[in-house]
Amino acid sequence: MMYKKSKLIKKYTYFLIILIVSLISTNCYASIEILNVRHWAAPDHTRIVLDVDDVPAYEVKESENLLVLNFKESSIHKSIPAKIIINQPGIKKIVFHHTDEDTVEIEFFLDKHQKVEVFKLKKFQDKPDRVVVDIILEQLAKEEKTTDQLPEIKKKKVIVIDPGHGGEDPGAIGKKRTYEKNIVLSISREIKKAINKIPGYRAVMTRDGDYYVSFKKRLQKAKNLGASLFISVHADAARNRSAKGSSVYCLSTGAASNEAAKLLARNENLSDILGGVPDSEGNNESNQIIMNMFQTNTINLSKIYAGILMKYLDAVNCLKYKSVQEAPFRVLKLPDIPAVLVETAYISNPDEENLLKKRSFQTTLAESVASSVEEYLSGEAIAPKSDQESRTTYYKVKRGDTLFSVAVRFNTKVAILLKLNDMKLEDPLFVDQKIIVPANKDEDNEKITDNVPDKKDNSSDRKKAYRIYTVKKGDTLFFLAKDNSTTVQELLKINNMKSTDPLLYGHKIKLPQKAGNIL
């Protein structure tokens, strides 16, 4: 009996020793592993990102052109080489060392720079814990001093084009692995080209590469330049793969237009977290801005431009919504600069994902945006017809009216209303205010009749009646002419088109009224 008891004690003692040894051994091994290293170069800084598998603890040592991070109880993933050549502005290379059994030393060999910022980012969604090293470049200070002093910029109307996402924040990802951040950058470059072709206009981008720019810096750039307009470019996504169409959003000081707009704004507003913005920069801006400080007039101006933009987008792609949407987007929080966010198409829809990648679509879309900018800012987009200037009446402004909504109501242009009333875009509309509007309200969304004489006139020279047709996929002028018993030349004439003009999906054109349907 004593023998069995002694044997049992020895057995437990053995297991206890094994447990203690294993615990001691565990402490000898790294508790944090450095998983990956990535880098991006922006005009004002170069960013190095270290992915780690848990909350990191590290020490920072900095001397001239050398930054050292010491990670205790850490290891390096086998896929990371001992030396990584970067050769980007501000940094030459990174070297990894194991100084003892559980300490990793990382040396950053720097080049000319202004300062270095090191900070942690918490695990978020599919992003692991991260350590970010930002090498701020010397040219930043120079750019900030000179950007708004350039005489050629001051002489022109500046439009800030903001490609969404970038760098650590890819945005939405299509089924074929198309990244929103890349698509909107490409489209924004085309928009910049198209706007810069317009005399008196200059487009400036918030980013022109694959790097992330914080909301604060995007908005500050627009303010520094005294921009006339701010356009944030995005590509939409939804779980429903059949969702499609373009849409335009303005800032809302209250609730969003609908649940979809609310969710979209919530996702877009996470960009600073995904992109990797330190708390001191990311939270400061949003905490200090109170929504009711925004001038109602600026939001109304944004809505006017948004309505004009929708009209042009409708000629390029189908619209998701028939009206301008509203949501509390952080990137639109500009108190005195009209700002909109445009969702160009659904990257989650396979057809529109392919469309977004096509250079022809990007160029056409860019030209439509440029045309909307010119109409909004110049007030000279389309010269008013003589009868619109001579035949006028008065309209009493109702609650919720904007210049654009009144223009649509009376089948005219904002530019014509401004001219008739000797107004500027900045001038507000007041409830019960009487304004001059064209009296020839003789069109609707489905039919129009050109030069149709009085019904009592039965002469043989009675003009033809026309109907409005929305172009479908696969349509050509040849087939439309054939189906409507007319010629291509006649279609070009009645639509004021050239043979080289594209027939765009969703565009509205005139077709001869079919027999039996003449008004």
Which pLDDT does position 31 carry in this prediction? 80
Which pLDDT does position 340 carry in this prediction? 93
Residue 317 lies in a domain: yes
Domain count, the chain: 5
131 shares a domain with 72 = yes
The position carrying tokens 């035949």 is: 391
- 3-state class of 448 per DSSP? strand
Alpha carbons 22 and 19: distance in angstroms, whole number = 5
Question: Given pLDDT bands bounded at 50, 70 and 90, which one contains residue 388?
Answer: very low
Q: Is the pLDDT of residue 345 over 70?
A: yes
Per the structure, the complete domain to which residue 504 belongs is given by 447-512
Q: Is the pLDDT of residue 194 over 70?
A: yes
Which pLDDT does position 179 carry in this prediction? 94
Question: Given pLDDT bands bounded at 50, 70 and 90, which one contains residue 449?
Answer: very low
Residue 145 lies in a domain: no
- 3-state class of 269 per DSSP? coil
Residue (of 232, 381, 370, 259) closest to 313 by Cα position:
370
Q: What does the block give as tokens for 422?
A: 């000797």
Which whole number is the average pLDDT over 319-333? 84
Q: Domain with 83 in it: what CATH number? A: 2.60.40.3500
250 shares a domain with 356 = yes
Contact criterion met (CB below 8 Å) for 256 and 321: no
3-state secondary structure 26-87: HHHCCCEEEEEEEEEECCCEEEEEEEECCCCCEEEEEECCEEEEEEECEEECCCCCCEEEEE
317 shares a domain with 191 = yes
Which pLDDT does position 287 carry in this prediction? 40
More confident residue, 58 or 261: 58
More confident residue, 6 or 73: 73
203 shares a domain with 104 = no
59 shares a domain with 40 = yes
Q: Is the pLDDT of residue 21 over 80?
A: no
Q: Find the range with the poorest average confidence among 13-17, 65-69, 272-276.
A: 13-17
Residue 481 lies in a domain: yes
pLDDT in tens, 157-188: 999 999 998 988 888 899 999 999 999 999 99
168 shares a domain with 307 = yes
Residue 517 lies in a domain: no
The position carrying tokens 């996470």 is: 270
Q: Domain with 420 in it: what CATH number? A: 3.10.350.10
Could you tell me the pTM of the whole model? 0.61
pLDDT in tens, 436-446: 888 754 433 33
315 shares a domain with 174 = yes
Q: Which helix (H) or strand (E) is 366 found in, with range?
A: helix 359-378
475 shares a domain with 349 = no
* φ, ψ of residue 318 in degrees (nearest 5): -70, 155
Alpha carbons 294 and 332: distance in angstroms, whole number = 11
Strand spans (E) along 380-432: 392-396
Which whole number is the average pLDDT over 339-350? 93
Q: Is the pLDDT of residue 248 over 90?
A: yes
Residue 166 lies in a domain: yes
Alpha carbons 215 and 271: distance in angstroms, whole number = 8
460 shares a domain with 482 = yes
178 shares a domain with 133 = no
Which pLDDT does position 161 carry in this prediction? 97
Q: Is the pLDDT of residue 457 over 50?
A: no
**Percent of the chain scored above 70 by pLDDT?**
71
Q: Is the pLDDT of residue 27 over 50?
A: no
- 3-state class of 128 per DSSP? coil
Of the residues 398, 419, 438, which one is the last residue of a structural domain? 438
Q: Find the range with the poorest average confidence among 262-276, 303-317, 442-456.
A: 442-456
Residue 216 lies in a domain: yes
pLDDT in tens, 97-143: 887 778 899 999 998 888 898 988 888 777 888 899 989 887 654 44
Q: Is the pLDDT of residue 26 over 80?
A: no
Residue (of 420, 413, 353, 363) closest to 391 by Cα position:
420
Residue (of 331, 329, 330, 338) closest to 298 by Cα position:
338
92 shares a domain with 7 = no
Alpha carbons 339 and 298: distance in angstroms, whole number = 8
331 shares a domain with 203 = yes
Taking each helix axis from N to C end, the angle separating 296-313 and 359-378, rounded to the nearest 10 degrees, works out to 140
Which pLDDT does position 451 carry in this prediction? 36
For residue 356, give every residue at least 6 positions away whose Cβ sits within 8 Å of its Cβ, in sequence order, or none.
Answer: 174, 178, 183, 187, 235, 344, 345, 347, 362
Which pLDDT does position 499 carry in this prediction? 59
Which pLDDT does position 3 carry in this prediction? 52
Question: Given pLDDT bands bounded at 50, 70 and 90, which one contains residue 14?
Answer: low
Residue 222 lies in a domain: yes
**Mean residue pLDDT across the chain:** 77
